[in-house]
């Protein structure tokens, strides 16, 4: 089973329209505020930092390039070819490598694992964007990539982020400029119950090794001039002996 064509087309349309300018996309915050903070939480749980690291749902590669400065082999994978075009243009030196990848397709996860071996995974804000029926399949794919030695770091919006996003979308002046394209392309953030992420992981054979809360910092600003931050939860997961 692969993702629906509607879902894939929505992301293609979004990324074809998106600017190459750093920070033009709602969630494309500078790494010091995103992957840099996450890495401080993730690194202590890595059993083997030398494993390939996969940035799953890498988008335009902002975080991928940051991670490539800190790990020996980093691969950014994406459902959208247009997103990968952005990532490659922004990485002319080839700090990382990039490829199309359907995270819910079992055979693709098995093929990538056969090529790379066990991997460490970084995934930020992808699960809540997936169709509900695809979420367990996506986590199953992560478990395949992680294998026995890898670790996965997942960050997802909290349930409490939904009313904030609804409030922004329903503002009398309309949604903020960087949020509007998300809704226009039909990829408005979905709802993932806070308790469901650990359940998806357990069902895939992974254990939650650490968890916590950390704001997801966006590139957009509210009417008061403050940067919009969305509550999120993070987990580190892997197999335990």
pLDDT tens, position by position, 173-231: 878 889 888 888 887 666 788 899 999 999 999 999 999 999 999 999 888 888 999 99
β-strand pairing of 119-124 with 52-56:
parallel
Cα–Cα distance, 52 to 117 (Å, whole number): 8
pLDDT tens, position by position, 63-121: 999 999 999 999 999 999 999 999 999 999 999 999 999 999 999 999 999 999 999 99
Cα-Cα-Cα-Cα dihedral sign, residues 16, 21, 25, 31: positive
Where does the chain show beta strands of DSSP type E? 52-56, 74-78, 97-100, 119-124, 151-157, 207-213, 216-221, 227-230, 232-238
In this prediction, residue 2 carries a pLDDT of 61
Q: Which residue has the tokens 């969305």?
A: 230
In this prediction, residue 5 carries a pLDDT of 77
Q: Confidence class of residue 4 from pLDDT cuts 50, 70 and 90?
A: low
**What's the chain's average pLDDT?**
92
Cβ neighbours around 123 below 10 Å, total: 21
- For residue 70, give the 3-state DSSP assignment: coil
Q: Which residue has the tokens 């991928």?
A: 64
Cβ–Cβ < 8 Å for 68, 95: yes
């Amino acid at each position: 089973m692969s993702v629906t064509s509607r879902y894939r087309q929505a992301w293609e349309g979004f990324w074809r329209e998106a600017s190459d300018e750093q920070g033009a996309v709602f969630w494309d915050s500078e790494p010091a505020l995103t992957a840099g903070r996450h890495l401080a939480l993730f690194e202590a749980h890595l059993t083997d930092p030398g494993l390939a690291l996969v940035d799953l749902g890498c988008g335009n590669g902002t975080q991928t390039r940051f991670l490539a400065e800190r790990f020996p082999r980093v691969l950014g994978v994406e459902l959208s070819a247009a997103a990968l075009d952005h990532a490659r243009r922004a990485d002319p030196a080839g700090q990382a490598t990039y490829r199309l990848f359907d995270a819910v397709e079992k055979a693709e996860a098995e093929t990538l694992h056969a090529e790379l071996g066990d991997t460490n995974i970084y995934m930020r804000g992808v699960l809540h964007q997936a169709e509900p029926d695809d979420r367990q399949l996506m986590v199953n794919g992560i478990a395949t990539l992680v294998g026995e030695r890898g670790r996965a770091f997942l960050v997802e919006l909290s349930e409490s982020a939904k009313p904030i996003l609804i409030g922004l979308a329903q503002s009398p002046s309309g949604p903020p400029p960087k949020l509007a394209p998300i809704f226009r392309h039909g990829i408005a953030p979905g709802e993932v119950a806070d308790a469901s992420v650990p359940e998806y992981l357990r069902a895939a054979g992974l254990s939650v090794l650490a968890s916590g809360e950390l704001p997801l910092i966006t590139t957009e600003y509210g009417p008061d001039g403050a940067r919009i931050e969305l509550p999120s939860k993070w987990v580190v997961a892997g197999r335990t002996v």
